[in-house]
Structure 1
Amino acid sequence: MRCSRSWVRGGLLAAVIVGAAGPAGAQQAGGPPALPVKAVAVKRDTVIESITAVGTLRANESVLIRPEIAGRIQTIHFREGDPVVAGVPLVTLDPAEYKAQVTGSQADVTVSELNYERQRNLDRSKLASQQDLDNARAKLDQARAKLQLDQVRLDKTVIHAPFAGIVGLRAVSPGAYVSPGQDIARLDSLNPIKLDFRVPEIYLARLRPGQTVEARVDAYPGETFHGEIFAIDPTLDETTRTVLVRARLANTEGELRPGVFARVQIELARREQALVIPEEAVWPVGNQTLVYVIRDGKAESVPIELGLRQAGRVEVRSGLAADALVITDGQMKLRPGAAVRLMDAPPAPQPGG
């Protein structure tokens, strides 16, 4: 995993070429000749601080369709790869055996109800003991429970879709005998789709639900998929010292599929109207970071605080004004207060020339 920072909304900084007229092209009378330099104006831009990671796409919801009871497949109601809505029948097992069990249980309930009523009448006439009445009541409860269990088994002969999604390839055919827990097909919900990726622990404090992420996959080069973080694992991996993060991506066209490898960019911070300059304008001196600016035709060194660095540009957190003109070439010959002129500007004429 590598850390990177991105810039958006802004093109390359264009060099500012100023004419000979004006302070930048002036030369003091009788003084040393102005040194030729290149300079650019400080630019305002939007800066996005981000990190990159790699991740894997997961179905929003996924389940293997399996029977809870044994039986012979009577009907398969879906076609492989087709979308289905929640609650529709997917598979029907032969219900004949389970219907027979329900019928037998219903008969047992009827007999138990009659026996219980008979015992109640005998109890009122003081011709039966309380134990006989209790036994009759217990047998009635058992019969009713058996009927309820057989009805549940009968209902399970029809397997319904637990949620809307796309049915995968089936592993059985009509007429096949299946055992409890045997795989029939997979059902996946793919819109939205989940994205799992790991982030180093040093960024943990800067992660939060709702942060924007962008993902790119090899199957669709040049296309970017947008989403946001919705969950962060509370426990870090002790081996890699990374935290598992989960985001959701919109997948209305169904392009993204579970298991696909993705390159992820996570936005950590966004600063509008940040000041940016070319990297070559930065001049380190000892423990300070300086830039030379042109003021009244002279070079002045200004200490600055840098922010992000990316693609030949740097963000300036403090030390520069938005209208400053910073020198990008020729700093090695400069000293504070030296007269300068822009490289494309002709030198000023000497007195008496």
Structure 2
Amino acid sequence: MRFAGIRTGQIERRALGGGVAIPAEVQFEPSSTAQVGPLVPGRITRVAVVLGQRVARNELLGVVASSDVSSARARLGQARARLAAAEATLRRQRALSTEGIGAQRAVIEAEALVAELRAEVEGTQRQLALFGSGTAGELQLRSPIEGVVVAVQAALGETASADRAVFVVTDPTRVWVRGDVPELEIAHVQVGSAAIVRLHAFPDLALTGAIVYVAPALDERTRSLPIRVSLTRPDARLRSGLFGSVEIVGGVPDERVLVVPIDAVAMVEGQPTVFVPVGGTSTFRPQAIELGRRGGGFYELRSGLAEGAALAVSGAFTLKSALQSGELGEAD
């Protein structure tokens, strides 16, 4: 089948500016997510938020009734009562000692008891503060960060355990982009290098940033080097799990390499492929190629075609569709 309107060009050499393009994924920063749950088991008596709700720092998420909190409050009340009695005894012993009636040893013993009971009261108060308790027997679960509720794993009357989060809150503005640099390209990568992030979901969006982390070792399975890119101005549309690419700016700007236009490349069964003219510019066949760096609208061409070879520089996806439907290569 012949295809009209598809432009052709030739493989040529260009300077890519030393850039490296790698696959990437948007991820939430670990510190941007809070797992909120009780420190002791209890029964959920209130759910104050819904999925997707924006919450402020320290905003109430829910309430859990716990017998452990009730016990701690009871211990606090008892300790306070014993402390009050011990302080009264200490005052009396000091008065008697001053008048020469009581023994100094009794004063010392009373002081020791008061100190012990004060420590017990303070320790129980700290425990209750750590629990985040509200009224008697209740734990108030509050958000430690400002963000959006992304998980509510609670129902009224359900038992909440100390080892499971009841609410998950995330700050969606705090994201980074993770990339994996091929082994042959790691010489182009360093902390501080400028980067441009593009996402499959938003092809017209180009986000600038910089590399903030380079792993100390290659991933043994993929033979690639993990990196993280911090964005200068994260877009509100970013979501954890979005895929795209990171173009790392750097390298040798004057190096001239064989290139192929980005628009000329289609993925066919996982292999980068271009289409070369056969017997004229309106009949094409697929040609698998190996790509390298990306920059300025071009990929570096590492193998598959020689300099000067002709190829389709537009309509790659039209030709791919024809190939998949069995139309490519058929005569009119």
TM-score, normalization by structure 2: 0.59
Partners of 1:139 and 1:86 lie apart in 2 by 41
Q: C-alpha displacement at 1:247, in angstroms? A: 1.2
Deviation string 1:275-319 (CA, Å, 9 cap, x unpaired) is: 98998xxxxxxxxxxxxxxxxxxxxxxxxxxxx9995999xxxxx
Do residues 141 (structure 1) and 112 (structure 2) align?
no
Contact 2:47 2:154 in 1 (8 A): no
CA separation of 1:206 and 1:140: change in aligned 2, threshold 3 A: farther
RMSD: 4.0
Deviation string 1:202-232 (CA, Å, 9 cap, x unpaired) is: 5445433332223333433454333221222
Contact 2:35 2:167 in 1 (8 A): yes
Do residues 264 (structure 1) and 246 (structure 2) align?
yes
Instruction: Indicate the residue corresponding to 2:281 in structure 1.
Output: none
Q: C-alpha displacement at 1:172, in angstroms? A: 0.8
Do residues 56 (structure 1) and 30 (structure 2) align?
no
Do residues 244 (structure 1) and 213 (structure 2) align?
no
Aligned match of 1:118 in 86, 92, 97?
92
Q: C-alpha displacement at 1:57, in angstroms? A: 2.3
CA separation of 1:142 and 1:277: change in aligned 2, threshold 3 A: closer
Aligned match of 2:189 in 186, 204, 207?
207
Instruction: Indicate the residue corresponding to 1:343 in structure 2.
Output: none
Aligned match of 1:73 in 44, 48, 68?
44
Instruction: Indicate the residue corresponding to 2:102 in structure 1.
Output: 127
CA separation of 1:270 and 1:82: change in aligned 2, threshold 3 A: farther
Partners of 1:277 and 1:91 lie apart in 2 by 60
Partners of 1:191 and 1:225 lie apart in 2 by 14
Deviation string 1:74-122 (CA, Å, 9 cap, x unpaired) is: 3323221112222222223347725444333322321232233334345
Q: Aligned runs of 1:271-282 on 2, under 5 Å?
A: 271=253
Q: Which runs of 5+ in 2 are unaligned?
A: 1-8, 133-138, 260-293, 302-307, 309-332
SS at match of 1:139: helix
Do residues 187 (structure 1) and 187 (structure 2) align?
no
Contact 2:25 2:242 in 1 (8 A): yes
Q: Aligned runs of 1:1-353 on 2, under 5 Å?
A: 47-60=16-29, 61-94=32-65, 97=70, 98-124=72-98, 125=100, 127-130=102-105, 132-155=106-129, 156=132, 157-237=139-219, 240-249=222-231, 250-253=233-236, 255-269=237-251, 271=253, 311=298
Deviation string 1:141-184 (CA, Å, 9 cap, x unpaired) is: 33223322332343312232222111112111233332223220
What code does the residue aligned with 1:127 have?
G
Contact 2:20 2:188 in 1 (8 A): no
Contact 1:67 1:179 in 2 (8 A): yes
TM-score, normalization by structure 1: 0.56
Partners of 1:266 and 1:120 lie apart in 2 by 77
CA separation of 1:119 and 1:262: change in aligned 2, threshold 3 A: farther
Contact 1:210 1:229 in 2 (8 A): yes
What code does the residue aligned with 1:110 have?
A
Partners of 1:80 and 1:72 lie apart in 2 by 20
CA separation of 1:239 and 1:169: change in aligned 2, threshold 3 A: closer
Deviation string 1:4-46 (CA, Å, 9 cap, x unpaired) is: xxxxxxxxxx9xxxxxxxxxxxxxxxxxxxxxxxxxxx9xx98
Q: C-alpha displacement at 1:191, in angstroms? A: 0.9
Higher strand fraction (1 or 2): 1
Greater gyration radius: 1
Q: Which runs of 5+ in 1 are unaligned?
A: 1-13, 15-41, 280-307, 315-327, 329-353
What code does the residue aligned with 2:26 have?
L
What code does the residue aligned with 1:115 have?
T
Percentage identity across paired residues of the two chains = 21
Count of matched residue positions in the alignment of Structure 1 and Structure 2 = 245
Contact 1:69 1:153 in 2 (8 A): no
SS at match of 2:201: coil
Deviates more, 1:71-80 or 1:237-246: 237-246
